[in-house]
Amino acid sequence: MTAVSIEGGQATQRKILIALLFIAIALNYVDRQVLALLKPTLEAQFHWSDNDYAKLGEAFQYTAALSFLFVGWIVDRFGVRRALGFGVAIWSLAGMAHALASTVQQFIVARVALAAAETVGTPAAVKSAAVYLPLEQRSFALALGNAAPNIGAILTPLIIPPFALMFGWQAAFYVTGGLGIIWVVFWIIGTRKLQPVIHTAKIEQVVKGKAPPIREMLGDRRTWAIIGAKPLSDVAWFFMLFWMPDFFHRVFGLSQAALGLPVALVYSLATLGALSSGVLFPIFINRGWSMNRARKTSMLIYACVILVLPLALVVSNPWVAAIIVGTALFAHQGFSTNLFGMTADIVPSGRVATVIGAGAVAGNLAGAWIIKLAGWSLVSGHGYWPMFAICTGGYLLALGWVHLLVPVLRPAEA
């Protein structure tokens, strides 16, 4: 077999990899968002309070944070193919288990299992880009991967509420979980011939199953730049994902059947934000800018765009509010995609998943905190103002933190 045919085969394998990663991350967010969209139904049936609902969110975030302490190491240790395949299978079964729950405690058990398994998604995606994709393809692949949650978040509010009204809320959990089991079959078949692109000593260690040294990772300022930036930027995403349907239901009086379209609009704009990042950074690079200037300028633009978010609290039309919130999540996804891209660029490939996992620990702890704050704020009569204010300023602080720790971004290979 010639080198040209081998490379052509690997190019096809990479396309399959990107497609399967996109679907997996989309399913990840479909499974976790079903509960939020069914909140009015479940709240009425099980007599939940806002604090009860917040406990479900807290359980998910704290479990995810704890799991991220280990899942990045697991991905680096066992490789993307095995780690992600097992992860999707387990989280799909956990999603289906929600249909069997009837108390807050039982829902919490199902959420804990779902959260623990779903944490494999982000480290595996970024690791895949670092190991299996050439440098020129990474930004687009990561942008597409960061758009995947929004595709899931768009389709879920359009499909799940009417589906649940027709077939019952339990059916919604069974169907969304079952899609993941089907995905696992395609993953096993579609990635069996995939080979790493960069054959460095670090990559060879990971392929053979040797995890990166933790002491070396923790002594690196690049690691702490990412760990510090993640909670400052992730609070908005986790808050919106968990409370946005309730925001439209509570503030604008939309029913479960009616809130799907505004929520879908919000995440449609968020999708564009992720994709725009995959275009914006290469444009700056093609102009001859350094990686440092291109990344940080991109992040600054998105950090400024999100400043419009508090305006959603003063408008009276739900569609105008959806456009404002969608613009904010457009900015979030653009910023987040750049942060992932920066990680893949500046962190040695052999420890990318572990670093992403460490950052996700901090991000999920911040998410648990703001979900709990929202429950307290709503019960106490303060409304959504505190959370919107916190989300607005986090991105400029995150960029400042990155610049403080890593004044000049350089490729890890350099």
**End-to-end alpha carbon distance in the chain:** 33
Q: Tens of pLDDT along 200-236?
A: 434 444 444 455 567 777 888 999 999 999 999 999 9
> Residue 4's pLDDT band (boundaries 50, 70, 90)?
very low
Q: Tens of pLDDT along 103-112?
A: 888 999 999 9
pLDDT at 138: 67
Structural domain span for residue 381: 3-405
CA distance 65 to 347: 21
Rg, the chain, Cα only: 20
Is 392 among the domain residues? Answer: yes
| % of the chain at pLDDT higher than 70 | 91
Is 412 among the domain residues? Answer: no
Q: Tens of pLDDT along 361-406?
A: 899 889 889 988 998 999 888 999 999 999 999 999 999 999 999 9
> Residue 345's pLDDT band (boundaries 50, 70, 90)?
confident
The more confident residue out of 236 and 30 is: 236
The more confident residue out of 134 and 347 is: 347
Report CA-CA distances (Å) from 392 to 169, 216, 383.
34, 34, 16
> How many domains, in total, are found in the chain?
1
pLDDT at 276: 87
CA distance 347 to 224: 11
Is 411 among the domain residues? Answer: no
Of 120, 112, 28, the C-alpha closest to 69 is 120
CA distance 127 to 142: 10
pLDDT at 203: 43
Is 18 among the domain residues? Answer: yes
DSSP-derived letter for residue 49 is -
Do residues 31 and 115 make contact, with C-beta atoms less than 8 angstroms apart? no
Q: Tens of pLDDT along 162-206?
A: 888 888 899 999 999 999 999 999 988 887 777 766 544 344 444
Is 243 among the domain residues? Answer: yes
Is 242 among the domain residues? Answer: yes
> Residue 95's pLDDT band (boundaries 50, 70, 90)?
very high
**What CATH code is carried by the domain that includes residue 106?**
1.20.1250.20
CA dihedral 238, 240, 243, 247 (to 10 degrees): 170
Do residues 27 and 151 make contact, with C-beta atoms less than 8 angstroms apart? no
Is 266 among the domain residues? Answer: yes
Mean pLDDT of 144-168: 80
Six-digit token pair at 161? 């509420």
Q: Tens of pLDDT along 125-147?
A: 777 777 777 766 666 777 777 77
Written as one letter, the residue type at 405 is L
pLDDT at 8: 55
pLDDT score of 254 more than 50: yes
pLDDT at 205: 45
Do residues 379 and 49 make contact, with C-beta atoms less than 8 angstroms apart? yes
pLDDT at 214: 74
Mean pLDDT of 334-338: 91
Q: Which of 123-127, 133-137, 157-161, 333-337 is least confident?
A: 133-137
pLDDT at 92: 94
Written as one letter, the residue type at 65 is A
Is 23 among the domain residues? Answer: yes
pLDDT score of 88 more than 90: yes
Q: Which residues does 78 contact at the CB level (< 8 Å), separation at least 6?
A: 209
Of 178, 144, 120, 136, the C-alpha closest to 17 is 144
CA 133 from centre of chain: 20
pLDDT at 204: 40
pLDDT at 9: 62
